[in-house]
A = this chain, B = another copy of it.
Amino acid sequence: ARPRVGYFYTGKSGANLLAEKLKKLQVKDFQSIPVVVNDNVSVYDAICTMFLEDVGTLFVVDNQSLLVGVLSRKDLLRASIGKQELTQIPVNIIMTRMPNITVCKKEDLIIDVARILIEKQIDALPVVKEVDGGFEVIGRITKTNITKILVRLVDDDIM
């Protein structure tokens, strides 16, 4: 048989080519604005903030604006069926606290974040920047952001 000059089999199907691109997407290009509350606000106020801002996850910061906790709708719902007066409980009693918070950085890969969201069964990760003494929250990445990426992939609006 004649050699086929100018034709090379790369071993990659069309699907693989897109997967390669998908693997390179970074958090910074798809993140949302974070919604934060101070760690001394009440559970009641946190629930109101969640409704006003229409988000599923709040990040809790201390007076130095450092990340100290995360509040999901689930955390707030659990607290709200308790017997205590919600205006009297500070969020730092019920939040998930450092070092049990999974964070990501803006250069991290979307695909790694997607895996973490699935594995840890959480809805959102804070995007953080390391500063003296801890993390500053600079973004939020959620299953909604991931769902939007899938739509943009199909609309060919991303690659």
* A interface residues (Cβ-Cβ under 8 A, vs B): 7, 12-19, 21-23, 44, 47-48, 50-51, 54, 56, 73-74, 76-78, 80-81, 86, 111, 114-115, 117-118, 121, 123, 143-144, 146-151, 153-154, 156, 159
Contact = CB atoms under 8 A, between A and B. Distances in A.
Given A16-B14, A117-B147, A156-B15, A77 B78 contact: no
Contacts of A47: 77, 81
A15 B44 CA distance: 47
A80 B82 CA distance: 10
B118 A148 contact: yes
A27 to B, nearest CB: 14
28 contacts: A13-B17, A15-B17, A15-B18, A15-B153, A15-B156, A16-B156, A17-B17, A17-B18, A19-B154, A22-B154, A47-B77, A47-B81, A51-B74, A51-B78, A54-B121, A56-B73, A76-B77, A80-B80, A114-B147, A114-B150, A114-B151, A115-B151, A117-B147, A118-B147, A118-B148, A143-B147, A146-B150, A147-B147
